[in-house]
Amino acid sequence: MVTVGVVGPRDLVASTCRIVEDMAGVTTVPLPYRTETQTAEVVRGAPGEVDAWLFTGVMPYEVASAAGVLDQPASFVNYTGAPLLTALIQLMRDGRDPASFSIDILDAGQVEETLKEAGIATSRVHVLPYRRGLTSQDIVAFHRERAAAGTGAAITCLRSAYTVLAPETTAIRLAPSIHSARYAMQQLLVALGEARSDGAQVAVGICEVPADAGAELRRESRSLGGTAVMQDDGRFIVFTTRGPLEAATSGFTQLPLVEKLGASHGSARVGFGIGATAAEAEALARHALTRAGHLGKVAAVVSLRNEIDLTLSGTSARPPRRPSLSLLSQRAGLAKTTLVRLQEMLAEQDDATVTTRSVAAALGVQQRTARRVLNRLERAGAAQPTGLQGLEGSGRPLVTYRLHL
């Protein structure tokens, strides 16, 4: 079951929730606001079980994105197409010219394309596309200026602008169509699936090391997000997920523990496999171990789907690769601006250790939201629990994390 937080004005949130909840496996949390300026506050106050955000329009989405509060995949309902044609039909029913209007928020090219498909001239159509920083006051001023110049009607995507314009001129407020809301939700589910899949892929490692290397291997395996367990055949097996493994190996380029074990015990071969299931990952791990055996006594290989084998260096001479924020944003389901703020926070510290309290302060969010951010980073392999930090007086100790950003 996926829980979607639906954000927007109360009437559109209610109608969008009804549309979204008709989709199997989806439940909604209504998150209405009075004005667009409250968007970030509403998102920050959402319950922790929200898996993804769906905004009833692009403006609240951009407000939340700019505020850095989108810690899960997010999408918005686009009003071009059916919603615009519905507004034009309303103009014709009211005896108004459907080829003379001003419209806000939408992309000018999309508006022109929709009108041409409907056979409507565009020479007397004026568009104010959305841009960062655009306010309700800007939108009202635009429509007033066009009305003064003789434009027939004002079509707005913003309820606050409609409330001001309706008493002054012919005004229509766009509302999302059922098709537009369903399409936005489908895109959101795709984004959520992509964000979850990479970091959640199962990783299995099979290790061939001398018996006396077991204790050291178990210690080193913690850096991979797993624990080494000895099997009946004398080999050790490690279960983890792709995210922690990719982070610990600097993007599948190096595995220093192989060199350490080889130097201490004479040999160390490791094969990791990554797949959708444990069985698939283990089969790939056995293939990777065979490849490592052909490379020498000290070697490590990661095998992925589609016959992709990656040989890992044993050296750690070069610094870990800085992760792509775009890729990490998708994998963790966090806004890129959130990751940038965390990088800025780390740059001001002496080390990369953080807690939910320090992250909450840096992002300007509640501690439960910060905990959600850290949990997502941990699943994506970009955060690693390192211990506990005691609090002064009463209260539970805080978990400390090391961020790889």
User: CA–CA separation, 334 vs 348, rounded Å?
Assistant: 21
| Predicted local distance difference test score (pLDDT) of residue 150 | 94
Q: Which two tokens stand for residue 107?
A: 């992309």
Each as own residue / partner, the long-range contacts of residues 121-124 (CB below 8 Å, 24 or more positions apart, any chain) are 123/99, 124/97, 124/99, 124/100, 124/151, 124/152
- For the beta sheet containing 383-389, the strands, ordered from the edge strand earlier in sequence to the opposite edge, are 353-354, 398-403, 383-389
- The dihedral of CA 39, 44, 50, 51: what is its sign? positive
User: CA–CA separation, 359 vs 238, rounded Å?
Assistant: 31
Using alpha carbons only, what angle is made at residue 194 by residues 7 and 131, rounded to the nearest 5 degrees?
45
φ/ψ bin of 372: left (φ > 0), alpha (ψ from -120 to 50), beta (otherwise)? alpha
User: CA–CA separation, 104 vs 164, rounded Å?
Assistant: 14
Q: Please answer whether residues 356 and 376 qualify as being in contact, where contact means their C-beta atoms are separated by less than 8 angstroms.
A: no
DSSP state of 320: P
Q: Please answer whether residues 325 and 334 qualify as being in contact, where contact means their C-beta atoms are separated by less than 8 angstroms.
A: no
Q: Please answer whether residues 404 and 390 qualify as being in contact, where contact means their C-beta atoms are separated by less than 8 angstroms.
A: no
User: CA–CA separation, 169 vs 347, rounded Å?
Assistant: 53
- Count of CB atoms within 10 A of residue 28's CB? 21
Each as own residue / partner, the long-range contacts of residues 46-50 (CB below 8 Å, 24 or more positions apart, any chain) are 46/5, 48/368, 48/369, 48/371, 48/372, 49/3, 50/3, 50/4, 50/5
| Predicted local distance difference test score (pLDDT) of residue 392 | 45
Q: How far is CA 45 from the centre of its chain?
A: 18
Q: What is the pLDDT along the chain (405 residues), one digit of tens a residue?
A: 789 999 999 999 999 999 998 887 889 999 999 998 899 999 999 988 888 899 999 889 988 888 888 878 888 998 877 889 999 999 999 999 999 999 999 888 889 988 998 899 999 999 999 887 889 999 999 999 999 999 999 999 999 999 999 999 999 999 888 888 888 888 788 677 655 555 557 889 999 999 888 888 888 787 777 778 888 888 999 888 887 787 778 777 788 888 888 888 889 999 999 887 888 899 999 999 999 999 989 999 999 876 778 888 765 444 444 556 766 776 677 888 888 889 889 888 877 789 998 999 999 888 888 888 888 887 676 787 776 765 544 455 677 888 887
Q: What are the two backbone dihedrals, phi and then psi, of residue 354, each rounded to the nearest 5 degrees?
A: -135, 170
The answer to whether the predicted template modeling score (pTM) of the entire model surpasses 0.85 is no
Alpha helices by DSSP H, 149-249 = 159-165, 178-200, 214-221, 242-248
Nearest to 48 by CA among 378, 340, 365, 379: 365
Q: How far is CA 151 from the centre of its chain?
A: 41
Nearest to 295 by CA among 312, 283, 316, 281: 312
Q: What are the two backbone dihedrals, phi and then psi, of residue 23, each rounded to the nearest 5 degrees?
A: -85, 135
Q: Residue 228 burial by CB count (10 A; 0-12/13-18/19+): exposed, middle or buried?
A: buried
Q: Please answer whether residues 322 and 388 qualify as being in contact, where contact means their C-beta atoms are separated by less than 8 angstroms.
A: no
By three-state DSSP, how is residue 6 classified?
strand
DSSP state of 154: E
Beta bridge partners of 240: 203
User: CA–CA separation, 60 vs 49, rounded Å?
Assistant: 21
Kind of pairing between the strands at 202-208 and 236-241: antiparallel
Q: Which two tokens stand for residue 386?
A: 């390192």
Q: Which helix or strand (DSSP H or E) is residue 65 part of?
A: helix 58-67
